[in-house]
Amino acid sequence: MNAPECSFGLHRTETLPLENSYAGLPPAFYARLLPTPIPAPYLVGASTRAAELIGLDPAEFGKTAFLETFAGNRGLPESIPLAAVYSGHQFGVWAGQLGDGRAVLLGDAPSAGGRMELQLKGSGLTPYSRMGDGRAVLRSSIREFLCSEAMAALGIPSSRALSVVGSDMTVMRESPETGAVATRLAPTFIRFGSFEHWSYRDRREELQVLADYVIDRFYPDLRTVPNPCQALLREATRRTADLVAQWQAVGFMHGVMNTDNMSILGITIDYGPFGFMEAFDAGHICNHSDHQGRYAYQMQPKIGQWNCYALAQALLPLIGDIEDAQSALEIYKPAFENKLDDLLHAKLGLRSKESDDGTLINDMFALLQANHADFTLFFRRLGELQVDNPADDTPVRDLFIDRLAFDAWAVQYRARLRRENSADAARRAAMHAVNPKFVLRNYLAQIAIEKAQNKDFSEVARLLSVLENPFDEQPDNETYANLPPDWANELEVSCSS
């Protein structure tokens, strides 16, 4: 009889004002299809912040319309669901056509920051599923959900996650697992591999259509420059460099930086076997399927650049001159180095730059490496350091096996702080605003996943709320900042998802 109640100005699920911008591209860019329904969907987790971003009333969570819609069981009135096509390089090798093998785009909704696409992941077979089953497991869906929202809270460009809807359907991986459907939000999910797809097929016309679509919608300022596609390459390269610098600074490892997982907008997408650095090791490989360590922590900057070269190769027919493509790529190195330098200065609470700061920073990384100190706790506790009181260094000092080596570095650091008259309280506040206390450690995700697999979803919600405020002291959640327990050493994350 009456419409379900909703808070003023917020939408119910079925009144989300969807448009279908991507569906306006020629039919070769996608396959129209409906998601495959799942039996008896239930709510595993939902993000109030993500909902509010698209004006959806969080009171909808758990209601039948929300569950059925974001399970893929029920369509939205204005939606033209589709799977987009793209290709890519996997682990450095051309892999041909890859996706969307298990994602369905519902359309795009308005948000404060421009329109946001709503995409289901794990919603069944598409014409691009290859050998896959079109599904995603609960485990990887929870990880993607939590990490998307955690990254956004850290201020790192990322796709967002609205919800995870579970079902008792079984999905076969190494062993039978519970399946789920995650709903992701991003201005677009167009990736480097979307361009490679047309370029490798010598389809210049489609390549141009895609470039025009991206420029008009997301880089409108580039429309009027002499060579818009060269400018697109430069801007995507700059944003990718910026993004990877932000990953390095927070210790985030993506795990599968294949070109089909690189956003043309320079945002983090396609969370799989990611990890956050704990005991520092620059060579750490978070993805157990990555036997060569191609995507190890210290490799990410180089791989980001490699991927931009792949994008340049794809865009070359539109750019025209190879030298123009090369000159656009030149921005990568300085953009990355400058961004990382800025971020590391901020992480160390340094307001100025000195010519010799590289030594202080390199010595810090050498110290972290030699002692395998916890990356997150190191910066957080370093924020508590008092310039004139080395006797109170214990919390940060205790992260190092070789305490004397820490002391020696701290002498250097203190001297540097004194040279810019650094005040303890102000520096502490500034450092705590950039050095998170809470990151999505694998073991925290694992606890939430195991409970969810037993139908207790409380930990997904609680962990989300902790990660939504990563820079705050949270006295009730102190344990979420703890070092991983011993059993966490046994955890393996791989491409299986």
Site for ligand AMP in 223-262 (CB under 6 A): 256, 258, 260-261
> Rounded distance, CA 44 to CA 456, Å?
9
Contact flag: residue 273 with ligand AMP (CB under 6 A): no
Taking the least distance from each CB to Mg ion, the nearer of 84 and 385 is 84
Which option in ligand AMP, Mg ion, none does residue 134 bind, with CB closer than 5 to 8 A by kind?
Answer: ligand AMP
- Given candidates 75, 101, 157, 390, which one binds ligand AMP under the rule CB under 6 A? 101
- Given candidates 60, 68, 100, 144, which one binds ligand AMP under the rule CB under 6 A? 100
User: Based on C-alpha coordinates, what's the Rg of the chain?
Assistant: 23
- Retrieve residue 97's tokens: 């056509």
Taking the least distance from each CB to ligand AMP, the nearer of 84 and 382 is 84
Taking the least distance from each CB to ligand AMP, the nearer of 54 and 256 is 256
Taking the complex as a whole, how short is the minimal distance between the CB of residue 73 and ligand AMP, in angstroms? 19
Taking the least distance from each CB to Mg ion, the nearer of 210 and 262 is 262
> Rounded distance, CA 397 to CA 374, Å?
11
> Rounded distance, CA 308 to CA 301, Å?
11
Q: Contact at 8 Å (CB) between 166 and 178?
A: yes
Taking the complex as a whole, how short is the minimal distance between the CB of residue 272 and ligand AMP, in angstroms? 5
- Given candidates 41, 45, 72, 99, which one binds ligand AMP under the rule CB under 6 A? 99
List CB contacts of 265: < 8 A, sequence separation 6 or more: 157, 186, 187, 188, 190, 218, 236, 239
> Which listed range, 15-23, 92-100, 105-113, 230-238, lies at the site for ligand AMP (CB under 6 A)?
92-100
> Rounded distance, CA 207 to CA 228, Å?
13
Site for ligand AMP in 457-496 (CB under 6 A): 495
> Rounded distance, CA 287 to CA 294, Å?
10
> Rounded distance, CA 390 to CA 400, Å?
15
Tokens 């917020």 -> residue:
10
Q: Is the peptide bond before 100 cis (omega within 30 degrees of 0)?
A: yes
Taking the complex as a whole, how short is the minimal distance between the CB of residue 467 and Mg ion, in angstroms? 22
> Which listed range, 98-106, 110-118, 394-402, 475-483, lies at the site for ligand AMP (CB under 6 A)?
98-106
Total residue length of the chain: 497
> Rounded distance, CA 402 to CA 434, Å?
26
Active site residue 260: yes
Site for ligand AMP in 111-150 (CB under 6 A): 129, 132-135
Residue-wise DSSP of 284-338: ----TT-TT-TT-GGGHHHHHHHHHHHHHHHHHHHH--HHHHHHHHTTHHHHHHH
> Which listed range, 93-101, 143-151, 365-373, 477-485, lies at the site for ligand AMP (CB under 6 A)?
93-101
Taking the least distance from each CB to ligand AMP, the nearer of 135 and 441 is 135
Taking the least distance from each CB to ligand AMP, the nearer of 89 and 380 is 89
- Given candidates 16, 67, 98, 186, which one binds ligand AMP under the rule CB under 6 A? 98
> Rounded distance, CA 472 to CA 435, Å?
10
* x/- map, 235-274, Mg ion, by CB under 5 A: --------------------------x--------x----
Q: Where does residue 104 fall: left (phi above 0), alpha (psi -120 to 50 degrees), or beta otherwise?
A: beta
Q: Which of 260, 270, 324, 393 is catalytic?
A: 260
Taking the least distance from each CB to ligand AMP, the nearer of 54 and 243 is 243
Taking the complex as a whole, how short is the minimal distance between the CB of residue 103 and Mg ion, in angstroms? 9
Tokens 């490496």 -> residue:
369
Taking the complex as a whole, how short is the minimal distance between the CB of residue 151 and ligand AMP, in angstroms? 17
Q: Is 65 exposed, middle or buried (0-12, 13-18, 19+ CB in 10 A)?
A: middle
Which option in ligand AMP, Mg ion, none does residue 133 bind, with CB closer than 5 to 8 A by kind?
Answer: ligand AMP
Closest-CB residue for ligand AMP? 132
Taking the least distance from each CB to Mg ion, the nearer of 198 and 274 is 274
Angstrom distances, CA of residue 418 to CA of 281, 315, 389, 411? 30, 50, 13, 11
Active site residues: 260
Binding site for ligand AMP (CB under 6 A): 98-102, 129, 132-135, 256, 258, 260-261, 270, 272, 495, 497
Binding site for Mg ion (CB under 5 A): 261, 270
